[in-house]
Amino acid sequence: MNTAKESTAAAAGLRGVVAAQSSIGDVDGEQGILIYQGYDIHDLAENSTFEEVVYLLWNGRLPKKDELENLKQQFQANSEIPSEVLEMMKTFPKDANPMDVLRTSVSALGFYDKEGHGTDRENAVKTAVKLTAQIGTLVAAWERIRTGKDVIAPDKSLSIAENFLYMFQGEKPEPDEARIFDIALILHADHELNASTFTTRVIAGTLADIYGAVTGGIAALAGPLHGGANTNVMKMLKEIGSEDAIDGWLDKALEEKRKIMGIGHAVYKTEDPRATWLRKFSKQLGEKKGEMKWFNMSQKIEKAMLEKKGMYPNVDFYSASAYYLMDIPLDQYTPIFAVSRVSGWTGHILEQYGNNKLIRPRAEYIGQRDLKYTPIDGR
Ligand code: COA
């Protein structure tokens, strides 16, 4: 029997469908506004830190001094990964994609966290702390392992942003780059019901554990239409090669109906406010390193896409050249997205557990009916 089903044909990709109530974040696509728990992203990027934003996402308010200190200490205390997971990672093929490695390693963390599977708030927050503290350690460890270098243990005096760059690159970051990276983590922390966050809520809605939900989030984030776009932006810039080649390359790509990576958005119809910050960082790092090529090329593509298609850059467009100028390999841009987005995922998972209802939509059946089975010899 067909119970209360409405056609979703008009909402392909569930565009515009409200699938959850949430107080974590909101996107105003018309005006280009992003808020976390009521605070504008520009205010947070200007004044806050990633740790403070994580507290905000999970608790619905900014922390007091001792609460922030406590959370930072918990992140530092939980930043090491189990040695078994590290040993397992050393057996992975060195050419494995870092997102595949991260997905498998996060899933494996669950084996070694016997208390990490509870869905009550107290237990779930503990697991959220561990995952947020450890994802950066995993990403950095893989970079060291695959390049034949010694894995660097976390320095428990550093912030998540500083520690990540330290473990990844082998030396403590310069303060300006650590701050840029910290703001990049703030900018990527949450974005309402994007594909990966929706995935984590669907998984959590079955009352599966957080490790499973975050593993699913990583799988969804990997796709080129979602978090994978940042890597592809840099590949595109390298493929084009120079500013002079942009016009011809772009005309051909648009003629072939290729999607220009880092451009367009399912919700924003104007500038993505995160791109405003990342554009600034791409320029700042280009000036610092004396390598303006990638920023200049990006600007030219941005301008052309606005003129030709009325489309704006999204979060992935300028993060690509900014990360490139921080000497981060292309295929690590999406894992870095996960280092930040784990905070939003876990915030949404906590919210889902707190007021759970199994997420189970319907499909509009467009297949045949009333067919009669024909034995195989008679087909
Ligand atoms: N480059 C060129 N054309 C684009 C485009 C892009 N980046 N993004 C959308 N379009 C075009 C589509 O080809 C389509 O044109 P058509 O109507 O002539 O067929 C139209 O705009 C609508 O595209 P659609 O894919 O339906 O829009 P969407 O709202 O579903 O797409 C994205 C949102 C993000 C999936 C899409 O813009 C995209 O693929 N961007 C590149 C990948 C990316 O940067 N992803 C990161 C998102 S944060």
Residues 126-165 have pLDDT tens digits of 999 999 999 999 999 999 999 999 999 999 999 999 999 9
pLDDT at 1: 39
Q: Residue 272 catalytic?
A: no
Q: What is the Å distance from ligand 1's center to 268 Cα?
A: 11
CA distance 152 to 93: 20
- Cα–Cα distance, 48 to 223 (Å, whole number): 30
Residue nearest to atom 46 of ligand 1 (CA): 226
Which segments of the chain have a pLDDT < 70? 1-10
From the list 86, 82, 97, 105, the residue with the least C-alpha distance to 342 is 105
- DSSP secondary structure, 83-140, as one string: HHHHHHHHTS-TTS-HHHHHHHHHHHHGGG-TTTT--SHHHHHHHHHHHHHHHHHHHH
- On whether the CB atoms of residues 185 and 161 are closer than 8 A, the answer is yes
Segment 62-91, tens digit of pLDDT: 999 999 999 999 999 999 999 999 999 999
Which residue is catalytic, options 188, 209, 316, 348? 316
Give the pLDDT of residue 2. 46
The pick from 194, 263, 333 for probing ligand 1's pocket by mutation, whose C-beta has the most ligand atoms within 8 angstroms, reads 263
- Contact criterion met (CB below 8 Å) for 25 and 191: yes
Question: What separation in Å is there between the alpha carbon of 205 and the centre of ligand 1?
Answer: 29
The model's pTM is: 0.95
Please tell me the distance between residue 228's alpha carbon and the centre of ligand 1 in angstroms. 14
Decide: 225 in ligand 1 pocket, CB within 6 A.
yes
Q: How far away, in angstroms, is 279 Cα from ligand 1 center? A: 20
The interaxial angle of helices 50-59 and 160-169, nearest 10 deg, is: 130
Is the alpha carbon torsion for 70, 85, 147, 262 positive or negative?
Answer: negative
239-269 core/surface letters (b: 16 or more CB in 10 A; e: else): ebeeeeebeebbeeeeeeeeebbbbbbbbbe
Let me know if 66 is a catalytic residue. no
**Distance set, CA 249 to CA 242, 244, 303 (Å):** 10, 9, 14
Residues 52 and 342 sit within 8 Å (Cβ to Cβ): no
Q: What is the pLDDT of residue 11?
A: 75
